[in-house]
């Protein structure tokens, strides 16, 4: 997966201090929207990863360290990320809009209510 820049991004995260690229590999920049409470980033699967997902594969998440922060993983079309209405407001309002749309999409696609 490759991280992508997106219209609502308001911060760029870089490799942490002391990152050893020889031991841990490259750590590129990550464009995010940050509202002080949560951070959202966007990723594109490679054609090979997309093929695996379409064949029933899974998305793996690796977190460096010994604790796993709470996270939400979802999918969105680029129109979802580029909607002019979603660019309006504070980072808090934008993240809330994105979260509402994600939960609505999850309910729609599964037919079940997501708690």
**Which DSSP string corresponds to 9-24?**
--EEE-PPTT--HHHH
Q: Is residue 41 part of a domain?
A: yes
Q: Is residue 87 part of a domain?
A: yes
The total of other beta-carbon atoms located within 10 Å of residue 22's CB is 5
Q: Is residue 115 part of a domain?
A: no
Q: Tell me which of 48-52, 68-72, 96-100 is least confident.
A: 96-100
Residues 33, 40 contacting (CB under 8 angstroms): yes
- Tally the domains of the chain: 1
**Band of pLDDT at residue 103, cut at 50, 70 and 90:** low
Q: Is residue 92 part of a domain?
A: yes
Q: What is the mean pLDDT of residues 61-86?
A: 74
The model's pLDDT over 26-57, given as tens digits with 9 standing for 90+, comes to 889 999 988 888 888 989 999 999 999 999 99
Q: Is residue 88 part of a domain?
A: yes
- Residue of 38, 46, 30 lying closest to 91 (CA atoms): 38
Range of the domain at 42: 2-110
Q: Is residue 75 part of a domain?
A: yes
């Amino acid at each position: 997966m490759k991280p992508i820049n997106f219209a609502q991004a308001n911060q760029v995260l870089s490799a942490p201090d002391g990152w050893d690229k020889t031991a841990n590999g490259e750590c590129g920049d990550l464009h995010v929207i940050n509202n002080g409470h949560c951070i959202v980033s966007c990723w594109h699967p490679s054609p090979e990863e997309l093929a695996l997902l379409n064949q029933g594969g899974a998305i793996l998440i690796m977190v460096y360290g010994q604790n796993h922060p709470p996270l939400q993983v979802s999918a969105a079309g680029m129109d979802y990320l580029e909607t002019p209405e979603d660019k309006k407001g504070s980072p808090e309002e934008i993240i809330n809009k994105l979260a509402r749309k994600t939960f609505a999409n999850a309910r729609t696609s599964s037919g079940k209510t997501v708690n």
